[in-house]
Every structure is written in C-alpha cells, then in structure tokens.
Chains A and B, each alone.
Chain A
Amino acid sequence: MKRDEIILGGFGGQGIILAGYIMGKGASLFDKKHATHIQDYGPEARGGACRTEVVISDSRISYPYIDNPSILAVMSQEAYTKYSPRMRQDTVLLIDENLVKPKRRKHNRLFAIPATRIAQELGRTAVANVVMLGFITAVTKVVSVEAMKQAVLESVPKGTEELNMKAFDRGYSYGLEKLKTAEGEGK
C-alpha cells in the first residue's frame, strides 16, 4: 500500500489550508486516489500558526493523521521549528526561503523557493501558496501536474484563474530547474 503523507505549515492568512484542500482535491477527484485533508488552526482570525495534513493513498484511509510526514512544506519559521523534528530520514523538505531559515546541514533532501517573492513579482502576495503548490508538484510528483492544475482552477476565486495558473507555472518550473541542478540542496 502506497501512502503519501504531506504536512503543510505556515501562519493564518497564507492560504495554507486552501493549499492542502487543493492538493487533496487533485489527488482525489483527478488522480482518482483516496485522499483526506485535515486542518488545524487556532481561534485567531489571521496570524496564528496553522497546519494542514494531506494523506494520499491507494486504499481507504481510516486514520487521517500524520506522525512522520513523507513531505513537509513550510512557509513560516515557526512551522519549520515545530514540524521539522517530525521528519523521517527520507522526508522531502520544501521551504519558502524568504520566510524560513533552515539548519541546512540537518536536511539531506531540502528544496527552497522564494515563493513569496515570486508571488510579489506577479503582483499578489496571496498567490504564494499556489507558487508553493507548483513547486511541490514538480519536486515530489505526489499529485500529477494535470490533476493539480485542474484542482487549482476549480478552487480559486472566479477571475483569478489566470494569475493563479501563472503562479503555479512559476513554482512548477522553478521546481523542475531545482531537480536538474541538484538532488537536494543540503548535499
């Protein structure tokens, strides 16, 4: 049984939970796998720590929680500090390098992207989560690129499809480049 376990972490307002939802939707509806998306947030309207967990499996998922993720993507230093101790030897770590300063020596499969800066270049910081999704898709292939794009298109507000597709493509090609240049930056 193949079971991919993804934790996305950041702070409220970055669209972390939406990113997890999009990933689950892509895996479930378009890659036709089993997927469960759970969310964890505090009572703050924005700014508090937030996390989403996505389990993708070939078989039915009874336990939806993740102890040791196969993929960890973080968009805040707090999330990095909190969840990186839960990484396994082979966990793929993806970070927004504008927001997270990792202890590089500790990670042998680290991939960094300036997701927030790319989003700013595109004119909307709000799409940093979708840049990150493109990046995750390219590096980990946990969801097919077609499925993920379809899920993004169906999940973002009307009128923002083009911007979000641009954001996804930027993250995706950045990821493909990273894969070419190195297996992981930590090595």
Chain B
Amino acid sequence: MSRRGPLVGEFFMNGDIACAEGGISAGCRFFAGYPITPATEVAERMSSRLPEVGGIYIQMEDELASMNAILGASWAGVKAMTATSGPGFSLMMENLGLGIMLETPCVLVNIQRAGPSTGLPTLTGQGDMMQARWGSHGCYGIIALSPTSPQECYQHTIKAFNLSEKYRIPVLVMADEIVGHMGEKVVIPPPEDIPLTPRRKPTVSPEEYLPYKPDADLIPPMANAGEGYRFHVTGLTHDERGYPVMTAEAQDRLVRRLVDKIEKNKADIIEIEEDGIDGADVVVCSYGISARVSQFAVERARDEGIKVGMLRLVTVWPFPEETIRKIAKRIKAFVVPEINCGQIALEVERCAGGAANTILVPHMGGSAHRPETIIDAIRRAVR
C-alpha cells in the first residue's frame, strides 16, 4: 500500500474532497460515517486517504453510530470527524448532544441538501442552519462555520478541528451541495505552515485530576483514556469528577458553563468579512454559496449607484450579535439571502432590534438564488 502524508501544492478539487483533505492536514486519523448524497465524496476520499496516513476509516451501520464512533475515537486521543447531509444530520443530533455534554473535540461536516425529509438529495439547501444551532435537545453553545468555496472547505475543516480542541466541543462545518460539489483550485500549504491546536492536557497528577474541573477560561483539560488518569464520562448531568448529580444546582453549574465557554469567548471564535459597510445604506448579510451570489449582486447594485455593503458570516454560530447591532444603527436595512424560508434572517432581525429593517430573500432549495432576485431586494431596501 502506498503511503502518502498530507498533500502539498495546488489541486483542482471539489469541496467535499477539500473537507477530507482539510481533515488529513488537521491531523484527523479517524473517520466514521454513512455515505449520503451529497456528502459521500468526503467519506469516499477518507476511505482511500486515511489508510495512507496510518488512520482508520469505518463505514458504520447508520449516522447514530457514526457520531458515537467519532466521540469514542476522540476520547481515545485521536482526532476524528464524520460527514453527512439531510436526514443523516437529523440522525446525528442526539449524539451531537452527547458530544457537547461530554465536551468532546470532533468535527461534523454537513454538506446541506434541500429538505425536509429526503427532499432533493442531489441539490442544494441551507435549511439546517437553525438545526445546527438548536438541533439537539437542551441548552448549549455551539460553533458552526460556513465555507463558500473548496478552498474554504479545506481551511474551515482545519479551523473546525482547532476550535474543537480549544473549546472541547464538536464543531460543525455547514457547507452545502453547490460548494461541496464545486470544483475549484485549492492551495494546500506545507504541514509546518498550518497552525494546529493541540489538546489541552492535565497539568496535575492522576490523583489530583478532576476530569470536568475547568481552567479560568471555562475549558477543562482533557486526559485521554489509557493515559493513567481516571476516566469517566456520562451524558447525565455531572460534577467536576464526572459523576452524575441529579440536582438543579449541578445542572446550573454545568449547563451555564457549557453555554458560557462559547459565549464568553465569542470574540476569539467569531470570524466575519465586511466589504464596503462604512457609508452604506443597505447591508447584505449572507453565508455559504448564498454569500457568493450576494457578492455578485452587491457589485451590480453598486454599478447602479446604490450604497450597499456586504457582511459575510464565516462563522455562523456563535452569531455576531454585536456587529449586527452596531451596523443596524447606521443603515436603513439588512438584506438576507439564504436557501431556506428564513433562519439567519430571524437572528439578524432580532439583533437589529428595530433600528434597521430586515428583508429576507428566501429560496426553498434546489439551486442558488438568481442574482436579479437579490438586486431587486437591495433596490427595495433603499427605497
């Protein structure tokens, strides 16, 4: 068997394959998944690449098992990921919650297709954005990224691994079918130029170690199973020892921290791109493939003399509330194109708090927006 390490150089590849290569570059050495269009190519690539780099690929019986397997791998000390779409994402929700409760670093790639149910397996959608935020039961913080190109699929997967290790949380890469199946140039730097976040290990002796005792930034160091430290995890509400405690006080302490470790570190996590927002009357806020179509529309609208800015959400969760709040005070309206019937638009509207209008440009899925639809909305917004 030929053995190759991470790729280096320029490649023409689609977003799915770029997610897989991003995983390899980030040090992912375990993938458990169940193939599903349009995410199959991620699994396919991993099935051939992981053995080349000394990793393990397992095709599981379903998505519930896939999500659980990567949690187990992560606890054994291996960086792990899975990829899915549509119904598979729904099936992963329960164990995504387990990963959040157990504070388990791992990466879940969702190449979104149009739903509900089986929907349009081969065609695009962005209908899982709220599911990414709230899809598992209970309260929690979450991190989700939204790539717009194969190059970003590669980079975001690495970023997702780094954030997952830093904040001990499953991180979602919320791509979509167009980006996943789109071929473009991907530049892969040499491994020494890719910063990787190592797992935070305990600094105390095994006798003193409390598996869920956080450092000052609310993140607990993590001992892998088999390293000599006591190992106990449970989905039940637990104390710093990791043992179940069935009280409102323990629940408050734990869940508040699960929320706060993301909330209080938002400034470090959130990444946005702004273009021409100063002096704009209207700002188009979008993400993923819709952000690319929006950018095209924004440039056409500027040709007409409209003062329009662009705000692209690189991370969608946690949501850049402060940014929206500040911009809202200076503009007439936000225009929010997304391939669903209004999910992120609700967040924008909430944060704008009435200071600016929010105009949703919905799309039920199956393709990207027509640029004219977005240009029309921009024209309406300045009126």
Give chain A's interface residues, CB within 8 Å of chain B.
20-21, 24-25, 28-29, 34-43, 62-65, 151
Q: Tell me the complex Cα distance, A21–B184, Å.
A: 9
Given A43-B121, A64-B292, check contact A29 B181 (CB 8 Å). Answer: no
Q: Tell me the complex Cα distance, A43–B178, Å.
A: 15
Candidates A34, A37, A42; contact of B183 at CB < 8 Å: A37
Distance of B276 from chain A, by nearest CB (Å): 14
Chain B residues, CB < 8 A from A25? 12, 183
Distance of A9 from chain B, by nearest CB (Å): 16
Candidates A20, A28, A65; contact of B368 at CB < 8 Å: A65
Distance of A80 from chain B, by nearest CB (Å): 22
Is A42 within 8 A of B122, CB to CB? Answer: yes
Given A29-B12, A62-B295, A63-B296, check contact A35 B178 (CB 8 Å). Answer: no
Q: Tell me the complex Cα distance, A38–B182, Å.
A: 5
Q: Tell me the complex Cα distance, A25–B123, Å.
A: 23
Does B185 sit within 8 A of A, measured CB to CB? yes
Does B59 sit within 8 A of A, measured CB to CB? no
Distance of A22 from chain B, by nearest CB (Å): 9
Does B90 sit within 8 A of A, measured CB to CB? no
Does B371 sit within 8 A of A, measured CB to CB? yes
Chain B residue with the shortest CB-CB distance to A33: B185
Is A21 within 8 A of B292, CB to CB? Answer: no
Is B122 within 8 A of A24, CB to CB? Answer: no
Distance of A97 from chain B, by nearest CB (Å): 28
Is B182 within 8 A of A37, CB to CB? Answer: yes
**Known A62-B299, A64-B292; further 10 A-B contacts with Cβ < 8 A:** A25-B12, A29-B185, A36-B184, A37-B14, A37-B182, A38-B178, A38-B181, A39-B181, A41-B122, A62-B293
Is B10 within 8 A of A64, CB to CB? Answer: no
Chain B residues, CB < 8 A from A40? 122-123
Q: What DSSP secondary structure best describes chain B's contact surface?
A: mixed
Chain B residues, CB < 8 A from A41? 122
Distance of A75 from chain B, by nearest CB (Å): 19
Given A24-B12, A29-B10, check contact A63 B185 (CB 8 Å). Answer: no
Is A21 within 8 A of B12, CB to CB? Answer: yes
Chain A residues, CB < 8 A from B371? 63
Report the tally of A-B residue pairs with Cβ distances under 8 A: 55
Chain B residues, CB < 8 A from A65? 367-368
Chain A residues, CB < 8 A from B357? none
Chain B residues, CB < 8 A from A63? 292-293, 296, 371
Is A64 within 8 A of B182, CB to CB? Answer: yes
Taking residues whose C-beta sits less than 8 angstroms from the other chain, chain B's interface range is 20 to 34
Does B37 sit within 8 A of A, measured CB to CB? yes
Distance of B135 from chain A, by nearest CB (Å): 25
Given A37-B183, A41-B122, A43-B122, check contact A28 B12 (CB 8 Å). Answer: yes
Chain B residues, CB < 8 A from A37? 12, 14, 182-184
Is A21 within 8 A of B183, CB to CB? Answer: yes
Q: Tell me the complex Cα distance, A43–B299, Å.
A: 35
Distance of A125 from chain B, by nearest CB (Å): 24
Is B293 within 8 A of A28, CB to CB? Answer: no
Within 348-383 of B, Cβ neighbours of A (below 8 Å) are at 367-368, 371
Is A24 within 8 A of B183, CB to CB? Answer: yes
Chain B residue with the shortest CB-CB distance to A36: B184
Candidates A28, A34, A64; contact of B178 at CB < 8 Å: A64
Q: Tell me the complex Cα distance, A24–B14, Å.
A: 11
Q: Tell me the complex Cα distance, A39–B182, Å.
A: 7
Given A62-B292, A63-B292, check contact A36 B182 (CB 8 Å). Answer: yes
Chain B residues, CB < 8 A from A24? 12, 183-184
Q: Tell me the complex Cα distance, A34–B121, Å.
A: 29
Q: Tell me the complex Cα distance, A37–B123, Å.
A: 15
Centre residue among B122, B183, B368, B371 by max chain A CB count within 10 A = B183
Q: List 27 A-B contacts (CB under 8 A).
A: A20-B183, A21-B183, A24-B12, A24-B183, A24-B184, A25-B12, A25-B183, A28-B12, A29-B11, A29-B12, A34-B185, A36-B182, A37-B12, A37-B182, A38-B178, A38-B181, A38-B182, A38-B183, A39-B181, A42-B122, A43-B121, A43-B122, A63-B293, A63-B296, A64-B178, A64-B292, A65-B367
Chain B residues, CB < 8 A from A39? 181
Is B184 within 8 A of A35, CB to CB? Answer: yes
Chain B residues, CB < 8 A from A64? 178, 182, 292
Chain A residue with the shortest CB-CB distance to B120: A43
Q: Tell me the complex Cα distance, A38–B183, Å.
A: 6
Chain B residues, CB < 8 A from A36? 182-184
Distance of A149 from chain B, by nearest CB (Å): 15
Within 142-198 of B, Cβ neighbours of A (below 8 Å) are at 178, 181-185
